[in-house]
Structure formats: C-alpha cells, structure tokens
Amino acid sequence: MAQKMKWDYSNQPGAKMFPHLFKPIKIRNMTIPNRIKYAATEDNLNDHNGFITPAGLEYMRERAKGVVGGICCMQGVYMDQKREGQGYVGQAAAWDDKYLPGLTKMADAIKGEGAIADYQLMHCGRVGGVELDHCVGPSLVPQRLKIFRPVKEMSKEDIRLTIKQHAEAAKRGVQAGFEMMEISGIVGYLLSNFISSYTNRRTDEYGGDIEGRCRFMVDTIENVRDAIGKEMPLMVRLCAEELLDEVGGNTPEESMTSYKIAEKAGIDCISVTQGWQESGTPVITRDIPQGKWLYNAKRAKQAVKVPVSMAYRLFDPKIPDKAIGEGNLDIWEMCRPMIADPHMPKKVLEGRLDEIRPCVACNLCLARLFRDAPMTCYVNPICAHESDKSWQATPAETKKRIIVAGGGPAGLEFAYVAASRGHEVHVFEEKDHLGGQIWHASKGLYGDEELMGMITYQYAMCKRHGVDFHLGQKVTPELLDEESPDSLILATGVKFGHPNVPGIEKHPLVSALDVVEGKATVGDRVVIWGGKKPAISAALILSEKGKKVTMVFKERKVGKDVNPSYIWRYIQKLGAKGVKTYKEADIEAFTDDGVIVKALYETRIPVKCDTVVYAEREPVRDLEAVAKEKGIEVQVIGDALVPRSLSNAIHDGYRMGIRI
Ligand SMILES: Cc1cc2nc3c(=O)[nH]c(=O)nc-3n(C[C@H](O)[C@H](O)[C@H](O)COP(=O)(O)O)c2cc1C
Ligand code: SF4
C-alpha cells in the first residue's frame, strides 16, 4: 500500500484565494486534508465482463492527482452475477473475488497519488439490466424512457439477496484497499427506486410510508457497515429533490426525512443529488446556472449533522468556496469538470485558473455511456486515452516554423500543442479578437457565455508555450511569401452563404452570426434558413425578443449536429417559444410577402415573413491551393475541413498538434 502523503497547502495561491476549499474535514475517524472530491464516474472503459483495464486505471490515476489529497471515488460497481444491477456495458463489477486484483490496482493507483480511495456500490435498478431483457425494482411501474428495460418486481428473497450482495461487494472493496465507501442512490437507481413513492408501490415492510420505503436503504447500510467494520467512513448519495412532479414521487420534505433516516442508520456523510433520469426537468445542462442546486445542500445541512457534499454544476471554485464558508456545504464534488480537466482542483490550488480546460456541460460523456461507447469528452481529446502513449504530445524531432491561419478553437488548440512540442508557432487572425465562431456562439442564450472559457484556456496555454499572436492580420499569398513558413495550418473556419433562388432580392437576407451578435436588423416575422446549431441560436434569440420565427431545414430533425443528450432541451425551448419548424424542407422562392417552402411530399407552403436569416455554413479554405503551389506543407483542420462542432475543432487541432 502506498505511503500516505502529507499535504500542506499554506503557501499555495489557491489556498489564499479560496480559504475554505483547502481546510481539513473529519468524516467518521478520517481526516481529509481538503474539501475536494472527484465524484464517481462510469466510463465504460472496463471490459465486457466488468474487469478493470489499463485505460480505466490511467484515467483514474490522473483524476487522483487532481484532487491534491482529497477524495477520489471510483465508478459505481455492480454486484450481481445475473447483471440485473448493471447499467452500462463497460461498468466495473465486484460480484466475485476474481475482481479483486483489478480493484486492488485501482485502489493503489488512487492512493499512489496521495488521494483517498473511495469505492462505490451502485445497483442501477430501473436503469439496470443493460445486457438483459429486464431490469428490477421494488414495483412494476412502467418505464417512461424507451431506452430502459421493462421492470420486474423484486420478491422479498430478491431483496435479501441484493442486500447480501451489497455487503459482499463492500467487503471486497475493503480487501482491495479502499479507504472509504459509498452507496449510490442517484438519478433513479435501486436505492432511490425504493425510497420514491413514484416507483415503490409495495404493501409489505419495504413499502408504504417514507419509513417503510427507506427500509431497503437502512438494511443495506447496516449490512454494509457490518461487512466493512467500524472504522471506515460510509457515505450515501441520496436525492434531495426528485423533480418528478408530473408523475408523483417524493416531496422535498420526504427526501429530507430519508436523509435523517440514513444518518440514524449510521451514514457518515451524505452526497446531495437532485433529479432523476426520468425527470423532464434539466439538472446539469448549460442552461442551469452554476450553483443553482445549492439550496438543497443548505436544506441537507439543516436536516442532518453529518458532513454534506454535493456536485451538480459547481464548476467555478468561488461558488463552493462561498457555500462552504457560509456553512451550507462541506465538500465540493466534481464529476464533469474533472472529466474535462483531470487536474482541475490542483490548478485551483496553484492559482492557475485560466489554465483550467472548462467543461461546457454538453453531456456528450453521458450520451456515450448510454450508447455503449467508451467515455470521451467534447473538449478534452486526451480523456480515456491517458494510457495511450501515442496520444500524448512528445518533443518534435524536426522543429518547424508554422503559421496558423485562424484563431478559433481548432487553430488555438493546434497552436499550443505544437508549440509545447518545440515548434515555432504564429497565429494570424484577421479579426481583432480570438474565438472564431465560438465568439459568436457564446452570445447565445442559456449559459452559452461559458463557451468562451475554452478560448480563454487555449489562449493561456498558447501564452505558456510561447505562441506568437498577430491579431487583425489576414494570411495572404504575399504574407506567405514574406514569412515562408515550413507549414501552414488552415483553421480558417466557415462563411455563411446562401443559394440563389428566384426572387431572393425581394427580402433582406441576414446571417445567423449577425443575429447572435445583435448586429442584424430583423423584422417581426422571420424565416431561418437552416436547422443546425447557428440556426437554433438565432431562433432562440429572436423568439425570446417576441419575433414570430419559422425554421426551414433539409435535415430530418432540428439540431442534427447537437448531441442527443442535449437536443431535447433545445426542442423544449423552441416549442415553448412557439417556433415553427419545417423539416426535410427548403426555400424554393421568395415572394413579395414571404417565401415558398418546398416541404415534405413535394408540398409548397407559402410562409409570410419580412426577414430571412441564412444559417448554413461553408468551409473557407481558399489558401490551400495557393500555399501548395508555393511548396508549403498545408494541413486543414476544424470547420475549414468540414463544418462541424466545437468538439471536432478541438480534437482536430489536438491531433494535428501532436502529429506535425
Ligand atoms: C459520465 C458520467 C458518469 C457518471 N457515473 C456515476 C456513477 O458511477 N455513480 C454515481 O453516483 N454518479 C455518477 N455520475 C454522476 C456524477 O457523479 C455527478 O453527480 C453529476 O455528473 C453532477 O455533477 P457535475 O455537474 O460535477 O458533473 C456520472 C455522471 C457522468 C457525467
Ligand atoms: S463531454 Fe461535455 S459535459 Fe462531459 S465533461 Fe466533456 S465538456 Fe463536460
């Protein structure tokens, strides 16, 4: 077992900037040197039988480094051979001693970085049985979401067996060397299925009132405690607010009663959660203001005496620092901020805030889990490749002089990665600011200003690695002659254009970029020509201003380029604002008072409008041929290659940066 490191934060800038985050706290008999916890994260990096892989170990080792002595929780393990508790194809298992070697390596990897190794038991209940034709729950309440399996009601024998399996898996956690343990009752998994009146309709001792519905939790806590002994801190993740009003479910008061019952049953710390996967209320998307859910941590602090921790959109360290200072929270948990940047809290401690790669709350990581794919991150190309040496930036064999045309996310990502490898890199940006389309996208509504955090991060990294900036300067053939670089990276992005249809001169045409920037003059009835992200941004901004908006697009659904875990939010918002959509459609002609939409089944629909917003993007790569003629090596990245997403821009930039 690794030697425990001693942590002294007193000389670190972050400990002064955030005085409450780096103070010790006691959970049961264990003193944790700070208030930081990496929250459990399924990553689908284990093999199909639940064995931990080198990729999973290295993923966790980086996060363990990041918590600088705090708690680092391993993903929730499933505990039954039948796999009813398994929610993800690559979920780690702990139903047999054969898993011990892998679990031991995991605990050692975490402790080796001086972090506290936390182990999580997670039976996924209604969200389980991912490899089966059913899942299990306290009662046969039909699923609301089609992706989950039909529910089979658990018998008392099933319940007793499941509790025993929790205890046995807990024992394996202790044998593997974990130092802390938790039981997950998050987002509609088994524990919460029993506690909620929505999913627990039982009439035996495991159902009925809130006391009865908590009996499964109490029995599980008591059996796990017996298995792990008196010393080890035991934590539970419990829902404070189910947000299931449309189908019933517990009141927030009942949820607090469940907290008190957990405390009485011997729990040493409670992690506050909110919302269920079946809830229609968004909880962790970008439109949810950071810190919104802290009122639930405050309620929990008032309900129980044990320490209270919480994650959920606490991305800016100022927010948890203040909450802890005010006595409304004890421990700052993070999941996605540390998927995006595994060293996030370490950088907070070192005062390197602008070097934090920010999570943009897009939920691609979650979408991948539900599509049985290994973890990946929208903004962090190294995520889940931590063990792959060929994926890391290593010193370049031949140093090159490189010009990057375009200061958007693709160009900037490339620039600092290439510079970190020893290349001489010059970024030319024709505008007087960096950011490319992200600069525009960040003017969108509902938290989109957070997108610019990515550009701030990339700029800080460029400065750290000595990238030269030439703002307000366009790369031209003459400039290439003057500079004669070894390589030209075309990260020139897109332009917004439009096809020429009959009558087009009859209406003012404005670009979606000008709309989001607030530069365009727009009438009261608007047709948006396009259905992807820029079109959605423009539609939301204009409908928010009270304009009557219609979207016309060729694809089968709106937001084809938006990640599936996010698009439903936009669809809800567009619907609420009364935005009309014509899918698999196009504008065929402009008339005196509007446009003719060619819609499904060859129908022609006249739509009245006074402004048309053009929202389709075309790549800009005019310089490619010119540079090639001059004998300069040219690489095209980001939207200049194919208009796609911020993620593609970053990943393109990174991959080219480590290769060149
Ligand atoms: C990809 C992913 C996997 C997760 N896996 C688990 C898990 O295994 N156990 C658990 O209790 N919560 C899990 N969660 C929930 C997180 O621990 C966390 O509570 C949630 O993401 C909100 O915090 P955040 O805003 O810091 O991401 C997962 C979340 C994500 C995004
Ligand atoms: S995939 Fe998106 S939500 Fe998940 S960590 Fe990365 S940026 Fe954040």
Give the model confidence (pLDDT) of 16-35 as tens digits: 999 999 999 999 999 999 99
Cα–Cα distance measured from residue 479 to residue 73, given in angstroms and rounded to the nearest whole number: 53
The 8-class DSSP code of residue 142 comes to: -
The two tokens of residue 377 are: 């991150």
Helices 646-659 and 409-420 pack at an angle, to 10 degrees, of 20
| Ligand 1 atom 31 nearest Cα | 366
Q: How far is the CA of 614 from the centre of ligand 1 (A)?
A: 38
Q: Which residue has the tokens 């939010």?
A: 569
Closest Cα to atom 2 of ligand 2: 362
Dihedrals φ, ψ of 518, to 5°?
A: 80, 15
The pLDDT tens digits of the residues spanning 109-164 come to 999 999 999 999 999 999 999 999 999 999 999 999 989 999 999 999 999 999 99
Average pLDDT over residues 72-99: 98
Index of the ligand 2 atom closest to the CA of residue 363: 3
Dihedral sign from CA coordinates of 307, 308, 311, 317 = negative
Q: Mean pLDDT over residues 523-543, rounded?
A: 96
Which residue owns the Cα nearest ligand 1 atom 6?
41
- 393-493+620-659 CATH choice from 3.40.50.2020, 3.40.50.720, 3.70.10.10, 3.90.320.10: 3.40.50.720
Residue 139 is predicted with a pLDDT of 98
Interval 319-336: pLDDT, tens: 999 999 999 999 999 999
pLDDT, tens only, 265-297: 999 999 999 999 999 899 999 999 999 999 999
Which residues are CB-neighbours of 598 under 8 A, at least 6 positions away?
Answer: 585, 586, 587, 588, 604
pLDDT (average), residues 237-260: 95
pLDDT tens digits for range 161-203: 999 999 999 999 999 999 999 999 998 999 999 999 999 999 9
Residue 47, pLDDT > 70, answer yes
Q: At 339, list the tokens.
A: 């998927």
Q: Which two tokens stand for residue 565?
A: 């875990």
Q: How many angstroms is it from 44 CA to the middle of ligand 1?
A: 13
Q: Which ligand is nearest to the CA of 334?
A: 1
Q: Which of 439, 354, 412, 427 is nearest to 638 (CA)?
A: 412
Q: How far is the CA of 446 from the centre of ligand 2 (A)?
A: 17
Ligand 1 neighbour 39 (Cβ under 6 A): yes
Q: Are 601 and 566 within 8 A, CB to CB? A: no
pTM: 0.96
Ligand number nearest CA of 335 is 1
H/E element, 606:
strand 604-608
Residue type, 438: I
Task: Place 565 in a pLDDT band, splitting at 50, 70 and 90.
Answer: confident
What architecture does CATH give domain 13-27+76-330+366-370? Alpha-Beta Barrel (3.20)
Distance 271 CA to ligand 2 centre (A): 21
Which residue in 553, 564, 610 sits closest to 586, CA to CA? 553
Ligand nearest to the CA of 272: 1
**Could you tell me what percent of the chain has a pLDDT over 70?**
99
Distance from Cα 49 to the centre of ligand 1, integer Å: 22
- Checking if the pLDDT of 349 tops 60, the result is yes
Q: What is the pLDDT of residue 422?
A: 98
Q: Are 623 and 492 spatial neighbours (Cβ–Cβ below 8 Å)?
A: yes
pLDDT of residue 235: 98
Nearest CA to ligand 1 atom 11: 184
- 462 token code pair: 């460029």
Percentage of residues of the chain with pLDDT beyond 90: 93
Going from the Cα of 560 to the center of ligand 1, the distance in angstroms, rounded, reads: 26
Cα–Cα distance for residue pair 30/28, rounded to 1 Å:
6
All residues at 6 or more sequence positions from 470 whose CB lies less than 8 Å from its CB, including other chains = 426, 427, 428, 429
pLDDT digits (tens, 9 = 90+) for 209-248: 999 999 999 999 999 999 999 999 999 999 999 999 889 8
Check residue 1 and give its pLDDT. 42
Q: Of 302, 238, 313, 320, which is closest to residue 276 (Cα–Cα)?
A: 238
Which residues, listed in sequence order, are joined to residue 20 by a DSSP beta bridge? none
pLDDT score of 641 more than 60: yes
Q: What is the DSSP letter of 244?
A: -
**294 within 8 A of 310, measured Cβ to Cβ:** yes
The per-residue pLDDT for 5 is 77
Best residue for ligand 2 mutational test, from 288, 334, 360 (most atoms within 8 Å of Cβ): 360
pLDDT at residue 73 in the model: 98
Which residues, other chains included, contact 311 with Cβ-Cβ below 8 Å and sequence gap of 6+? 39, 271, 273, 333, 334, 335
Predicted confidence band at 463 (pLDDT cuts at 50, 70, 90)? very high
CA angle 354-359-360, nearest 5°? 110
- Strands of 358-485 (E only): list them: 401-405, 424-429, 468-471
Closest-CA residue, ligand 2 atom 8, reads: 359
Give me the residue label for tokens 């994926």. Answer: 391
Rounded CA separation 234/259 (Å): 14
Which atom of ligand 2 is found nearest the CA of 376? 1
Task: Please report which confidence band the pLDDT of residue 568 belongs to, taking 50, 70 and 90 as the band edges.
Answer: confident
- Which residue out of 277, 292, 335, 336 has the highest number of ligand 1 atoms within 8 Å of its CB and is therefore the one to mutate? 335
Q: Could you give the CA distance from residue 612 to residue 500 in angstroms, rounded to a whole number?
A: 13
Nearest CA-CA partner of 195 in 246, 244, 142: 244
Measured distance CA(235)–CA(42) in Å, rounded? 18
State the pLDDT at residue 2.
Answer: 44
The Cα 331–Cα 313 span in angstroms is: 14
* Sheet strand arrangement including 580-582: 509-511, 611-614, 525-529, 548-552, 580-582
Q: How far is the CA of 341 from the centre of ligand 2 (A)?
A: 10
pLDDT in tens, 63-73: 999 999 999 99
Burial of 631 (0-12, 13-18, 19+ CB in 10 A): exposed
* 8 A C-beta contact, residue 562 and residue 536: yes
Work out the mean pLDDT of the chain and round it to a whole number.
96
Q: What angle do CA 78, 371, 189 make, to 5 degrees?
A: 35
CB atoms under 10 Å from CB of 399, counted, come to 12
Structure-token pair, residue 182: 């938790």
Residue pair 67/21 in contact by the 8 Å Cβ criterion = no
104 C-alpha to ligand 2 centroid (Å): 28
Q: Is the CB of 40 under 6 A from ligand 1?
A: yes
What does the DSSP 8-state code read for residue 398? S
Alpha carbon nearest to ligand 2 atom 5, residue: 336
Q: Is 312 in the pocket of ligand 1 (CB under 6 A)?
A: yes
For residue 311 and ligand 1, the question of a CB distance below 6 A is answered with yes
CA of 369 to the centre of ligand 1 (A): 11
Calpha distance 440→436 (Å, rounded): 7
Which residue's CA lies nearest to atom 28 of ligand 1? 41
Residues 557/470, Cβ–Cβ less than 8 Å = no
Please tell me the residue having the least CA distance from ligand 1 atom 23.
312
Centre of ligand 1 to C-alpha 284, Å, is: 10
Separation in Å, CA 2 to CA 55, 111, 233, 313, 357:
21, 6, 19, 33, 29
With residues binned 3-state (H G I as helix, E B as strand, rest as coil), the percentages for the chain, rounded to 5, are: 35, 20, 45
Name the strand (E) or helix (H) holding 273.
strand 269-274
Ligand 1 probe mutation, 74, 119, 186, most atoms within 8 A of CB: 186
Beta strand residue intervals within 96-139, DSSP E: 116-121, 135-137
Distance of CA 324 to the CA centre of its chain: 24
Contact of 21 with 314, CB cutoff 8 Å: no
Query: Phi and psi dihedrals of 406, rounded to 5?
Result: 120, 120
Domain ranges of the chain: 13-27+76-330+366-370, 393-493+620-659, 504-618
- Taking only the tens place, the pLDDT of each residue in 475-515 is 999 999 999 999 999 999 999 988 889 999 888 899 999 99
Task: Read off φ and ψ for residue 273, nearest 5 degrees.
Answer: -125, 165
Model pLDDT, residue 563: 82
**DSSP 8-state symbol, 154:** P
Q: Give the C-alpha distances (Å, rounded to integers) separating 337 from 266, 438, 658.
A: 31, 19, 24
β 594-598/586-591 pair status: antiparallel
Q: How confident is the model at residue 445 (pLDDT cuts 50, 70, 90)?
A: confident
- Identify the pLDDT of residue 117: 98
Pocket of ligand 1 contains residue 41 by CB under 6 Å: yes
324 with 332: CB under 8 angstroms? yes
143, 100 contact by CB (below 8 A) = no
The fold adopted by the segment(s) 504-618 is: FAD/NAD(P)-binding domain (3.50.50)
Q: Whose CA is nearest to atom 29 of ligand 1?
A: 41
Please give all residues whose beta carbon lies within 6 A of any atom in ligand 2, as ranges: 336, 339-340, 359-365, 377-379
In angstroms, the Cα distances linking 424 to 417, 474, 477 are 11, 19, 20
pLDDT at 499: 86
How many angstroms separate the CA atoms of 8 and 273, rounded?
Answer: 31
